[in-house]
Each structure stands twice: as structure tokens, then as C-alpha cells.
A and B are shown apart, each in its own frame.
Chain A
């Protein structure tokens, strides 16, 4: 074995060992956080869960538990933000949905949202039932199946391009790709935030000198369009726009 090959083996072994060690430590943080929560020490739980997040790791359970801890501490904005993060990773989890709905009832602000038609409401609900990871893999697998079918059809010439099976496959693949695109837009490309201050003034410009449009309260969700001079230009659910201090908003 050459010296270079030996060095490679040592590096890989060290990397695997370190990764296992980090994973073990982070699992320990998660479990310690759970213990703190069970004993009513919500601040301690938050500290442990946040350590895992700061290490660059996440899971729906982690965000869910963190959301619970913030809720118990009375920090509604942070609680809602973490429930939304958890829901993105595991959109069909009943507990996450229940706690998010429950927490949102305590948000003071209620935006008047344009009512959607039943069709679009159904479509939205359908889109929301997949996580980005799921829809991406589903699209990938469907693409592989589609390619395999096309290649097979070329070899055996038994499947025609207009056969119902192939058409169905193409439709399902297209739907899955659209879901992936929408999820990618909503979860990754669009910056979303939640108000974490108990109350904060929404102004019509990026600075204290501008007029106050209204007062937003913790738990209000907004889309972040851009940042300027320590202020976010945000777009609320009712399409109202305004400038809000970056300190008052946690990006989800």
C-alpha cells in the first residue's frame, strides 16, 4: 500500500469517525432537550435544540419540539416559525399540523385573505401534502420509469407512444414535476418570515422616519421581498406591503 493510499484511508476513516461522533453528540442534545422539556425547563430545551440547528442539522421532530418549547415560553412567533419549518419537512404529520393550527389561533393579527375557489384550495392542499424531498424523488423515479418505458418501447416496439399507460405515466410525471417546481418556489426560492416581536410597527419605508402603516404582532407570516438598511420589504397574506425591522422577523 502506497503512502498516498494510506493517507486516503486515514482521512476517510477520520471523516466517518468524526461524522459518527457529531451525530452521536447531536442525538444526545436532542434527547437532553426532550428531558428538559419533560421536566418543564423549556429554556433549557430550547438551548439544546438550538445547538443541533446551529451545528447545521435539522429534522421535523427537532423543529416540532423546538416549536413546542417556544410556545410554552410564550414566544408565539418563534413557535409558529418552527412548526412551519417542521411541516415543510414532514407535511403530513398530524401533530405538527395540530400544533401549528393551535398556535396560530393565538396570533393577534388576522389578515383578510382573498378566498380561493374550491378547485385551487384542493390543488393547494394536494401540493402541501408533499415535501420538497418527496416530490423531487417522486419526479426522479417517474422519470426513470418513463425513460425505461421509452427505451423498452424502442427495443420491442410493442408500446406505442399513444398507449394509455404511457400517456398516464407522462401525466403523472408532469404533475409531479409541477409539484416539485411549486414546492421549490415556495420553500427555497421564496423567502418567508414570521414576526417574532410581540408587536412591531410596519412602515412605508426602510427607516424610523417613515409613516407607520399598522402594528404587526407575533406570529404574523410574511414573504420577504428584499432587505435595505436593516429593514425587510415584506408582503403579507392580504398582499399588503410594508417595511419591517429585520430584527423583528425570523426567516423560515
Chain B
């Protein structure tokens, strides 16, 4: 039975592998595959369905974004794109995922035809889908316990309120649009609210303010409120609409089906998360044209309440010395779009606009701020120069009439200085930096004294540097090694004698050779002495009192060969004989004795 299972198991594994390889091969042949899917097949008219388009490809670059099928029954918003790379047996596969929110316009059943893309003149298409749009969201998504409360109260649990601070306005007048999202504090939210972009095609929409959060009690229910405002500026007269806004939020969905179940407590902990969509009502604003009566000739379209000031960084300057003129417009209104003020005649100056800075502020509920224009001025004529007042004409919607604001004149004392008005400055300095022109121009080139050296050469790598620095280092290292060696020799007599044995023996042999040449009988003493001394030094033994027998014993302990020991004995005996009985062998006998002694030292050096 076990055998049968084993065989069956192996067959299944092999079959699976074969199928997997077959599929992979088939898949590898497809360069691009495209598919679409929906997060649900039924959706409420006030809800959104999520359409996901997945493109799988092995093409690494240049693949176009897939096109969606025409969906006239839905508004389509892109809600994100992601990409992923996978390594499989056939190489790297890229998976691109595009997500879209489909917001239904009407109820019914609508087909979603295939998404497609064209690559290398070949069209790739996805599968088809179908989406049912029903009127009631509950009908589509089933009961949402925390949305429907207990069924008795009509109090809404989450809702959106939008409002404007005025129902009538002038063109380009600021209308503050406020969006408030209310969610009962007992509702558990699992994501921050995801707002659709504000849609008001006939308005210029300014940046939103920081979102405020606070609690508010309505009909005895406590709500969390998220409030955010936008400054809108109408671009044309007429009855203009700010479209409804939507948001999606994930909240806890609790099922009531098992409330009597004793395990429902655990189910309470394992709540399902449901994504819900909330929509506000559209708002209409009546926008009026600006009155023609009293409109100044130099009216640039600024609407709001503004103040213009002007100043310079210093009033005592020299000819061609730069100063910065700062023109500041502050107040409430569409300050970002305030045009550059018209400068008065600046005959005595060269000037360049250097920068514009904008700072937005909330002034109460209204949006305002400061816009600063900076100019770089270079006086060209010495003497007292005046920058005439600058004027800004604007329409004040509060007072309903045109007004103007004017800066004060600026008086400058311009000295002749070292620079003449004709001095050419090679660049137009910009960016509002205070440039201290101590130097009027760059200094002249260097015409002599250039010693060319190879590029990229650094001294640390040059052979000369390495030799110059390396030599003393080597000397120092050598010195340290020598000192260490000497210290070791001084502290260890046996080691010192061992190391010096050969050099002492060589010296004594040389002395013996000299005696040989001179035919001096001291030769024998030196020959026997050198052998005794060498053995004593090697074995750290006292040379005093050593006899040929003692030497033989010592060598026997050191496992010296019998021949060597015998040879040593003979040489020592002959040397002793010659020493005490006098020379009787002649010069050739002495030479032979010397050679044998030399050979013994050499053999002992190897043995000991």
C-alpha cells in the first residue's frame, strides 16, 4: 500500500512539474498579457467600483500604458499605479497594475469592454466584464451595521457638508469653500478619508488650508469633524457651480446575524472592513462682473484688499554699486496671481528683476499673504536720486469700488566712488543676492611661472616620496629588530652562546691557520681549543675542564654519529699529543689535522 502511495505521489509530482513547465513555456511565448477585474460585480449609484488593469510582460522598457474601454455610464478616476518585478525560470517578468475608480452616472447593467494597448504594431486586448449599478448602496453592498445604526434612529453616521462663505461674488473675488466630513465618534475608521479632487471648472482653486480636526455634538451624538477650506476665485460671471465632492473611507462592518451566538464576542474582534463612499451636494454661486464705473486706466485685475510698500537695503551707495529694491504687496485676495507692479521711470538706474517670493497666509477664513518683488538696481549717476512711488490699483469687493495703494518715494545718496558709470560688468548678477563688488572684474591671466606636472599624480604615490620616507622607516624598523635581538641575546646565555658558536669557531680556526703558517706549536692548543669551545658553546656547557671522554659522552647524549665522535676523539688526541709532546708530524700532518678539525666543526654545526 505504501509502495503504491509512493509511486502515485511520484507520478503526481512529475505530472505537476510537466504541467508547470508546459504552462511556463506557453506563457513565455506571450510577451504581453493584459487583464481587467472589478472589486465587485454590483455597485450602488452613490458608490464606486474599483477597476484593476494588470499588464504582465517580459518587455523591460517602452511599453505604453493600457487604454481603457469607453465608459460613458461612469466617471473614471485613476487611483494609483504600481509595478512589480518577478524573477522566474524564463527571466524577469514585470507586472504593472493600474487602478481606476468607476463612479456610476445611472443605474443599469453595463458591459466593460476590453482594455487594450498597442506595442510593435500589435494590439493586445484584455477580457470583458459586466457591472450592475443599483440605486441603493445597501442593495449593492449588503447591510453595514455601523452605518445603519440600530434602524430606529435617523441620525446619519457619516456625512459630508460643503458650504461657501458667500453666495454672490465678483469675478476673481475670493470665495471660501469649506468641506466638513462628519463621522460619529463610535464608528471605527480603518483608513483616513480619501477625497476625490475638488471639481469647480469655472473657478481658479487655490491651495487648500491645513485640515482641522475637532469634535462636535449634533442631536446628542458626538462626531469627529475634519474641516478643510479652499479659496476659490471665479473666472467668469454667471451662475457657477462647485460640483459635489466625494470621499471614500474604510470603516468596520459588523454582522448582526450572530449576535445571540456566545462566540459573537470573538466575531466582534474579527470585524470586516468595508469601504464606503460619501457624497456632498453641489453648490451654486452667483458671480457678477466688475463695475466699469471708476475703473482706473492702470487696473491690472487685482481684487481684494491690499497694501503696497517699497524699500531698499541701503540709501548711501556708489555709482554702479548694486542695491536691492523690494516691493511688497500684502493683504487678502488672490495674492498669488497679483501681477508685477509697473515700475516708475528709472532713468538714473540700470535695473534687473531678480526674484519674486510668495508667502500664503490665512487671514481669518480668508486667504491672503505677501508677494515680494525684488529688483537689483545699479545707480549710474551720482547725486541724490529718487525712486518714485509705485502704485497698485485694485477692486475692493467689501467696499464695492476701485481703490489704489501707493508706496512712499525713496531717496538715495549716490556717490561717485571708484567705479565709473561706463564700467562694464560681464554678467547681470541675479537672484537677489547682495553682491559686494570690491573687485570690478576678474584678475588677469598668469603669463609666466607655469610648471606643468602630470595630472592625477599625488605625492603619496610618487617613487621619490616613497623612497625618501621609506628609507628612514626601514632604518628604524631595522634598528628595532637589532635592539630586540641584542636584548634576547643578553637575556639568554644559552641562546647567545649557540648563536655565536660558529663565528667564534671560525675566528679560532683562522688563528690556528695563522699558527700553522708560522709553524707555531700553539697550533695544537688552538685546534683542540676550538673543538672544545664549539661543543661547549653549542651545548651551553663550560669549556673549562672538558676532556675528550666528557665530550664523547655529551655527543652521545646528542645522538651524534659514532664516526663523528671517533673522529673528534682522534683529532683531540693528536692535538693533545702535539701540544704536550711537541711537533713531530711536519707541516703536512698539521695541515691534515687542521682540515679534519674544520670538517668536524662543519659536521657538528649540522648535528648540534
What is the interface of chain A, defined by CB distance below 8 A to chain B? 23, 26-27, 30-31, 34, 37-38, 52-53, 56-59, 61-62, 64-65, 68-69, 71-72, 74, 76, 95, 98-99, 101-103, 105-106, 108-110, 132-133, 136-137, 140, 143-144, 147-148, 150-151, 154, 180, 184, 188
Q: A105-B433, A144-B468 are in contact. Are A71 and B442 (CB under 8 A)?
A: yes
Asked if A106 contacts B429 (CB within 8 A), the reply is yes
- In the complex, which of the residues A27, A58, A180 contacts B455, with contact meaning CB atoms closer than 8 Å? A58
Q: Given contacts A105-B435, A136-B458, could you give 18 more A-B pairs where the C-beta distance is less than 8 Å?
A: A56-B455, A57-B452, A57-B453, A58-B453, A62-B450, A65-B445, A72-B442, A95-B443, A102-B441, A132-B458, A136-B465, A137-B465, A140-B465, A143-B473, A144-B469, A147-B473, A154-B479, A154-B483
- In the complex, which of the residues B445, B451, B465 contacts A34, with contact meaning CB atoms closer than 8 Å? B445
Residues of B within 8 A of A61 (CB): 446, 449-450
Main DSSP-derived SS at the B contact region: loop
A205 CB to closest chain B CB, in angstroms?
Answer: 14
A96 CB to closest chain B CB, in angstroms?
Answer: 9
A/B interface sample: 15 pairs, CB < 8 A: A30-B452, A31-B447, A38-B445, A61-B446, A62-B452, A65-B445, A65-B446, A68-B444, A72-B442, A95-B443, A105-B429, A137-B459, A140-B465, A143-B473, A150-B476
What is the interface of chain B, defined by CB distance below 8 A to chain A? 426-427, 429-431, 433, 435-437, 439, 441-447, 449-456, 458-460, 465, 468-469, 472-473, 475-476, 479, 483
B228 CB to closest chain A CB, in angstroms?
Answer: 24
Residues of A within 8 A of B455 (CB): 53, 56-58
Residues of B within 8 A of A133 (CB): 458-459
For the complex, give the distance between the alpha carbons of A162 and B459 in Å.
32
Asked if A108 contacts B458 (CB within 8 A), the reply is no
B456 CB to closest chain A CB, in angstroms?
Answer: 8
Residue of B nearest to A58 (CB): B455
For the complex, give the distance between the alpha carbons of A105 and B460 in Å.
35
- In the complex, which of the residues A34, A108, A188 contacts B430, with contact meaning CB atoms closer than 8 Å? A108
Asked if B452 contacts A147 (CB within 8 A), the reply is no
- In the complex, which of the residues A57, A59, A74 contacts B427, with contact meaning CB atoms closer than 8 Å? A74
Asked if A68 contacts B442 (CB within 8 A), the reply is yes
Residues of B within 8 A of A99 (CB): 442-443
A195 CB to closest chain B CB, in angstroms?
Answer: 14
A42 CB to closest chain B CB, in angstroms?
Answer: 10
Residues of B within 8 A of A188 (CB): 458
Asked if B459 contacts A136 (CB within 8 A), the reply is yes
Asked if B427 contacts A106 (CB within 8 A), the reply is yes
Asked if B446 contacts A95 (CB within 8 A), the reply is yes
Asked if A34 contacts B453 (CB within 8 A), the reply is no
- In the complex, which of the residues B451, B456, B473 contacts A59, with contact meaning CB atoms closer than 8 Å? B451
For the complex, give the distance between the alpha carbons of A98 and B449 in Å.
19
Sorted from nearest, which 8 A-B pairs have the closest CB atoms? A61-B450, A136-B459, A57-B452, A61-B446, A65-B445, A147-B472, A140-B469, A106-B427
Asked if A71 contacts B458 (CB within 8 A), the reply is no
For the complex, give the distance between the alpha carbons of A46 and B435 in Å.
28
For the complex, give the distance between the alpha carbons of A154 and B476 in Å.
11
Residues of B within 8 A of A34 (CB): 445, 447
A201 CB to closest chain B CB, in angstroms?
Answer: 17
Residues of A within 8 A of B476 (CB): 147, 150-151
Residue of B nearest to A49 (CB): B445
Residue of B nearest to A99 (CB): B442
Asked if A98 contacts B443 (CB within 8 A), the reply is yes
Residues of A within 8 A of B435 (CB): 105
Asked if B479 contacts A151 (CB within 8 A), the reply is yes
Asked if B431 contacts A23 (CB within 8 A), the reply is no
B443 CB to closest chain A CB, in angstroms?
Answer: 5
For the complex, give the distance between the alpha carbons of A34 and B441 in Å.
18
B601 CB to closest chain A CB, in angstroms?
Answer: 36
B526 CB to closest chain A CB, in angstroms?
Answer: 37
For the complex, give the distance between the alpha carbons of A130 and B445 in Å.
22
Q: A64-B445, A74-B427, A110-B433 are in contact. Are A59 and B460 (CB under 8 A)?
A: no
Asked if B443 contacts A59 (CB within 8 A), the reply is no
For the complex, give the distance between the alpha carbons of A147 and B452 in Å.
33
Residues of B within 8 A of A102 (CB): 439, 441-442
Residues of B within 8 A of A62 (CB): 450, 452
Asked if A109 contacts B431 (CB within 8 A), the reply is yes
For the complex, give the distance between the alpha carbons of A29 and B450 in Å.
12
Residues of A within 8 A of B456 (CB): 56
Residue of A nearest to B425 (CB): A106
- In the complex, which of the residues B445, B454, B465 contacts A68, with contact meaning CB atoms closer than 8 Å? B445
For the complex, give the distance between the alpha carbons of A91 and B431 in Å.
29
Residues of A within 8 A of B429 (CB): 105-106
Asked if A76 contacts B469 (CB within 8 A), the reply is no
Residues of B within 8 A of A137 (CB): 459, 465
B118 CB to closest chain A CB, in angstroms?
Answer: 21
Asked if B465 contacts A52 (CB within 8 A), the reply is no
Residues of A within 8 A of B472 (CB): 143-144, 147-148
Residues of A within 8 A of B447 (CB): 31, 34
Q: Which of the listed residues B445, B450, B456 has the most CB atoms from chain A within 10 Å of its own CB? A: B445
Asked if B454 contacts A57 (CB within 8 A), the reply is yes
Residues of B within 8 A of A38 (CB): 445
- In the complex, which of the residues B445, B459, B475 contacts A132, with contact meaning CB atoms closer than 8 Å? B459
Residues of B within 8 A of A109 (CB): 431
Residues of B within 8 A of A101 (CB): 439
Residue of B nearest to A65 (CB): B445
Residue of B nearest to A83 (CB): B442
For the complex, give the distance between the alpha carbons of A58 and B455 in Å.
5
For the complex, give the distance between the alpha carbons of A106 and B450 in Å.
28
A157 CB to closest chain B CB, in angstroms?
Answer: 13
Residues of B within 8 A of A108 (CB): 430-431
Residue of B nearest to A217 (CB): B431
Residue of A nearest to B447 (CB): A34
Residues of A within 8 A of B437 (CB): 105
Residue of B nearest to A85 (CB): B455
For the complex, give the distance between the alpha carbons of A65 and B444 in Å.
8
For the complex, give the distance between the alpha carbons of A230 and B460 in Å.
32
For the complex, give the distance between the alpha carbons of A34 and B435 in Å.
29
For the complex, give the distance between the alpha carbons of A147 and B480 in Å.
12
A210 CB to closest chain B CB, in angstroms?
Answer: 14
Residues of B within 8 A of A184 (CB): 458, 460
- In the complex, which of the residues B427, B441, B452, B458 contacts A58, with contact meaning CB atoms closer than 8 Å? B452
Residue of B nearest to A26 (CB): B452
Residues of B within 8 A of A65 (CB): 445-446
A145 CB to closest chain B CB, in angstroms?
Answer: 9
A26 CB to closest chain B CB, in angstroms?
Answer: 6
Asked if B446 contacts A71 (CB within 8 A), the reply is no
